[in-house]
Amino acid sequence: MLPASMIMSRRFAALVVGVIAALLSGWTIPVTAGDRVFTDSAGRRVAIPATIDRVFAAGPPASVIAYTLAPDKLLGWTRAWKADEKAFLPQQYADLPVTGRLTGKANTADLEAVVALHPDIIVDVGTVDPTYVSLADRVQQQTGIPYVLLDGSFSRSADTYRQLGELLGVGARGEELAAYAERTLADTRERLQQIAADKRLRVYYGRGANGLETGLNGSINVEILGEVGALNVAAAAGSGGLTTVSPEQVLAWDPDVLLTADPTFYRSVGTDPLWKGLKAVRDRRIYLVPHEPFGWFDSPPGVNRLIGIRWLTSVLYPDRFPEALRETTRDFYQRFYHVELTDAQLDELLRPATAPPS
C-alpha cells in the first residue's frame, strides 16, 4: 500500500485540474464535476462534493454533532462504548465501528485506515487555532479528503448547526436543532439577569479519579460555567486549557460548589480528609454530572452540553430554574439522540443531585 502522503483520490485529482482551469477562465468559485466550495470557521475554502453521504468525525465533538444531525452519514465513533452508555443509543448506531480520532493527545486514527473508509469529508468541531488549522491542512494534503474545521464554542452552537446542516445537505434538520440551541441559551441568559452578581456561585470542576484536573479560564471544557452565571475558581490560575492543580490550590479557592463527572471522585470526596475543609464539602454541594451516552458538562465539550445547561442551572439556582427536568430530558434525547428513554433510564440520568454518601 502506498504511504499516506502519496494517496490522492481520483476525485480530488480531478478537482485540482478543475480549479486550475477555473482560475485560468476567470471564475471566482470553481465548480467541477459537481463539487462546491465551503468556507469553514478558519476561513479555509474547501472544495467538497455536492452530495455527502460518508462523514469521518475527526474528534468526539464532531462525532456528537454529526450524529445528532445525520446519524446515517456517520462512519463510526472515536472510541468504544461502555455497556451502560450503549443503552442510551439506538442499537444500529451504537454498533457503528470505532474509527478512532485525528485530534487531541489520544489521536488513534491511522491515515491509511481513514482513506480506506472512503469518507466524502472529514469534519472537526472544536477550537479554531493555528494548531488545528495546520492539522486540517496536513491531513487534507496527505489523504486528498476534504477536511472542514468548525467552531465548537458553546455560545456558537446554533451557528455551527446551521453550517454543518448546510454542509451535509440537511439544512432543515440543522435549522431545527439550531433553533433549539438559541431558545435554550436565550432563556437561560434572560433568567440569569435576575441574579445579582454577589449571588453568583463559585464552582470548581474536578476531573479524573482524584479530581485534580480542571479547566483554566478560556478552556472549552468549562465554558458552560460562564453560560450559567457561575464563576470558575480555577480561572485564578490563568488562561489555557486543561491543567492539573494541587489540593492546596483548591482549598485556597474554597468553591461554593464542586462538580465532577467521575464517579470514583464523587464517591470519595465527601469523606476524604484532603477535601473536608472545602466549603462545598461542608455544605454538601457536590454534584455528579450525568454522562450517558455523552457528558452533560464536557466529555466531550460539544453540543451535548445543551441538556447539561438545563441540568446545571437547576442545580445551582433552583429558585430561578424550578422546572422538572424529566420531560425536558425525554424530549432532548428523542430530538437529538434519536432514542426514546424509558422511565428507568430517566431515573438513572436524573438521580437526585445530592452530596455523595458519607
- 347: pLDDT strictly greater than 70: yes
Confidence of residue 142 (pLDDT cuts 50, 70, 90): very high
d(CA 118, CA 12): 12
Closest CA to 114 of 148, 92, 142, 151: 142
Q: Is beta strand 121-126 parallel, antiparallel or unpaired with respect to 55-57?
A: parallel
Could you tell me the pTM of the whole model?
0.87
- 9: pLDDT strictly greater than 50: no
Mean pLDDT of 88-94: 97
- What is the percentage of the chain residues whose pLDDT exceeds 90? 82
- The mean predicted confidence, pLDDT, of the chain is 89
Confidence of residue 353 (pLDDT cuts 50, 70, 90): low
Q: What is the CATH number of domain 4-182?
A: 3.40.50.1980
pLDDT in tens, 16-48: 433 333 333 333 334 455 689 999 999 999 999
Give the residue extent of every domain in the chain.
Answer: 4-182, 196-349
Confidence of residue 356 (pLDDT cuts 50, 70, 90): low
**Residues across the chain:** 358
- As beta bridge partners, residue 55 has 74, 121
pLDDT in tens, 169-206: 999 999 999 999 999 999 999 999 999 989 999 999 99
- 3: pLDDT strictly greater than 70: no
- How is 306-349 classified by DSSP, letter by letter? HHHHHHHHHHH-TTT----SHHHHHHHHHHHH--PPPHHHHHHH
- CA 98, distance to chain mean position in Å, is 18
Contact 57, 66 (CB under 8 A): yes
The CATH class for the domain spanning 196-349 reads alpha beta
pLDDT in tens, 217-258: 999 999 999 999 999 999 999 999 999 999 999 999 999 999
CA torsion through residues 229, 233, 237, 240, sign: negative
**What pLDDT, on the 0 to 100 scale, is given for residue 323?**
87
pLDDT in tens, 255-304: 999 999 999 999 999 899 999 999 999 999 999 999 999 999 999 999 99
**What pLDDT, on the 0 to 100 scale, is given for residue 6?**
40
